Amino acid sequence: MPRASRDPLTHEVVDLIGSVVARYHEEYDRAAATHSLTGAQARVLALIALDPLPMRQIARALRCEPSNVTGIVDRLEARGLVERRPDPSDRRVKVAAATADGTRTAEQLRDSLDFAREPLAALSRADRTTLRDLLQRMIGEHSDA
Protein backbone atom coordinates (compact mmCIF):
# COMPACT_ATOMS: atom_id res chain seq x y z
CA MET A 1 0.00 0.00 0.00
CA PRO A 2 1.50 3.39 -0.94
CA ARG A 3 2.38 5.83 1.81
CA ALA A 4 -0.19 8.60 2.15
CA SER A 5 2.42 11.27 1.37
CA ARG A 6 3.03 9.76 -2.10
CA ASP A 7 -0.56 8.88 -2.86
CA PRO A 8 -1.90 10.96 -5.81
CA LEU A 9 -5.35 11.14 -4.22
CA THR A 10 -3.85 12.57 -1.02
CA HIS A 11 -1.97 15.17 -3.08
CA GLU A 12 -5.18 16.11 -4.87
CA VAL A 13 -7.10 16.46 -1.59
CA VAL A 14 -4.30 18.56 -0.06
CA ASP A 15 -4.30 20.83 -3.14
CA LEU A 16 -8.09 21.22 -2.95
CA ILE A 17 -7.94 22.05 0.76
CA GLY A 18 -5.23 24.60 -0.03
CA SER A 19 -7.43 26.17 -2.69
CA VAL A 20 -10.39 26.41 -0.32
CA VAL A 21 -8.22 27.97 2.40
CA ALA A 22 -6.69 30.47 -0.03
CA ARG A 23 -10.13 31.51 -1.34
CA TYR A 24 -11.45 31.81 2.21
CA HIS A 25 -8.55 34.07 3.25
CA GLU A 26 -8.87 36.21 0.11
CA GLU A 27 -12.58 36.75 0.71
CA TYR A 28 -12.09 37.25 4.44
CA ASP A 29 -9.41 39.89 3.78
CA ARG A 30 -11.70 41.67 1.28
CA ALA A 31 -14.60 41.60 3.75
CA ALA A 32 -12.32 42.85 6.54
CA ALA A 33 -11.11 45.72 4.36
CA THR A 34 -14.68 46.95 3.91
CA HIS A 35 -14.65 47.52 7.70
CA SER A 36 -11.12 49.01 7.62
CA LEU A 37 -9.73 45.93 9.34
CA THR A 38 -6.86 43.63 8.47
CA GLY A 39 -7.60 39.94 8.02
CA ALA A 40 -5.86 39.20 11.34
CA GLN A 41 -7.94 41.82 13.15
CA ALA A 42 -11.13 40.39 11.65
CA ARG A 43 -10.18 36.83 12.70
CA VAL A 44 -9.48 37.93 16.28
CA LEU A 45 -12.75 39.86 16.38
CA ALA A 46 -14.69 36.87 15.03
CA LEU A 47 -13.13 34.59 17.63
CA ILE A 48 -13.81 36.78 20.66
CA ALA A 49 -17.28 37.77 19.45
CA LEU A 50 -18.22 34.16 20.24
CA ASP A 51 -16.64 34.13 23.69
CA PRO A 52 -14.25 36.45 25.57
CA LEU A 53 -10.79 34.87 25.70
CA PRO A 54 -7.39 35.50 27.30
CA MET A 55 -4.61 36.58 24.90
CA ARG A 56 -2.79 33.26 25.19
CA GLN A 57 -5.89 31.33 24.18
CA ILE A 58 -6.45 33.64 21.19
CA ALA A 59 -2.81 33.17 20.18
CA ARG A 60 -3.15 29.38 20.47
CA ALA A 61 -6.33 29.38 18.37
CA LEU A 62 -4.70 31.52 15.66
CA ARG A 63 -1.32 29.80 15.96
CA CYS A 64 0.65 32.97 16.57
CA GLU A 65 2.61 34.66 19.34
CA PRO A 66 0.71 36.30 22.23
CA SER A 67 2.61 39.55 21.56
CA ASN A 68 1.06 39.66 18.06
CA VAL A 69 -2.40 39.23 19.57
CA THR A 70 -1.73 42.03 22.06
CA GLY A 71 -1.02 44.46 19.21
CA ILE A 72 -4.11 43.38 17.30
CA VAL A 73 -6.32 43.70 20.38
CA ASP A 74 -4.79 47.13 21.11
CA ARG A 75 -5.84 48.35 17.64
CA LEU A 76 -9.33 46.82 17.93
CA GLU A 77 -9.72 48.37 21.38
CA ALA A 78 -8.72 51.80 20.04
CA ARG A 79 -11.56 51.48 17.51
CA GLY A 80 -14.09 50.57 20.20
CA LEU A 81 -14.61 47.04 18.89
CA VAL A 82 -12.95 45.20 21.78
CA GLU A 83 -12.48 45.74 25.48
CA ARG A 84 -10.28 44.09 28.06
CA ARG A 85 -11.92 42.90 31.26
CA PRO A 86 -11.01 40.64 34.17
CA ASP A 87 -11.58 36.93 33.63
CA PRO A 88 -14.50 35.93 35.91
CA SER A 89 -12.73 32.67 36.83
CA ASP A 90 -9.35 34.34 37.60
CA ARG A 91 -9.41 38.08 38.15
CA ARG A 92 -5.62 38.27 37.68
CA VAL A 93 -6.13 37.38 33.99
CA LYS A 94 -7.56 39.81 31.45
CA VAL A 95 -9.76 38.61 28.62
CA ALA A 96 -10.47 40.34 25.33
CA ALA A 97 -14.19 40.70 24.69
CA ALA A 98 -16.08 42.16 21.76
CA THR A 99 -18.10 45.28 22.45
CA ALA A 100 -21.62 45.62 21.03
CA ASP A 101 -20.08 47.35 17.97
CA GLY A 102 -17.48 44.59 17.72
CA THR A 103 -20.12 41.87 17.83
CA ARG A 104 -22.15 43.63 15.11
CA THR A 105 -19.04 44.01 12.96
CA ALA A 106 -18.12 40.33 13.42
CA GLU A 107 -21.66 39.31 12.41
CA GLN A 108 -21.52 41.55 9.32
CA LEU A 109 -18.18 40.02 8.37
CA ARG A 110 -19.49 36.48 8.80
CA ASP A 111 -22.63 37.28 6.80
CA SER A 112 -20.58 38.73 3.93
CA LEU A 113 -18.50 35.57 3.39
CA ASP A 114 -20.30 34.14 0.38
CA PHE A 115 -17.73 32.03 -1.48
CA ALA A 116 -18.41 28.80 0.43
CA ARG A 117 -22.12 29.30 1.02
CA GLU A 118 -23.25 28.59 -2.54
CA PRO A 119 -21.12 25.46 -3.10
CA LEU A 120 -22.06 24.13 0.34
CA ALA A 121 -25.73 24.79 -0.34
CA ALA A 122 -25.43 22.48 -3.35
CA LEU A 123 -24.53 19.63 -0.98
CA SER A 124 -27.20 17.72 0.89
CA ARG A 125 -27.40 18.12 4.66
CA ALA A 126 -25.98 14.60 4.99
CA ASP A 127 -23.02 15.52 2.73
CA ARG A 128 -22.37 18.72 4.73
CA THR A 129 -22.51 16.72 7.95
CA THR A 130 -20.08 14.14 6.54
CA LEU A 131 -17.74 16.92 5.35
CA ARG A 132 -17.85 18.58 8.77
CA ASP A 133 -17.17 15.29 10.53
CA LEU A 134 -14.24 14.45 8.24
CA LEU A 135 -12.70 17.90 8.71
CA GLN A 136 -13.10 17.60 12.48
CA ARG A 137 -11.37 14.21 12.39
CA MET A 138 -8.54 15.71 10.34
CA ILE A 139 -7.89 18.40 12.93
CA GLY A 140 -8.50 16.16 15.93
CA GLU A 141 -11.87 17.49 17.08
CA HIS A 142 -14.94 15.40 17.71
CA SER A 143 -18.50 16.31 16.83
CA ASP A 144 -21.08 16.59 19.57
CA ALA A 145 -23.90 16.35 17.01
Beta carbons of 106 and 49 less than 8 angstroms apart: yes
The number of folded domains in the chain is: 2
Angle between helices 66-78 and 39-50 (to 10 degrees): 90
145 pLDDT band, cuts 50/70/90, is very low
Average pLDDT on 65-74 reads 93
In a domain, 2, yes or no: no
3 pLDDT band, cuts 50/70/90, is low
CA atoms of 15 and 120, how far apart (whole Å): 18
Provide the pLDDT for residue 20.
85
Do 79 and 144 lie in one domain? The reply is no
Do 106 and 89 lie in one domain? The reply is yes
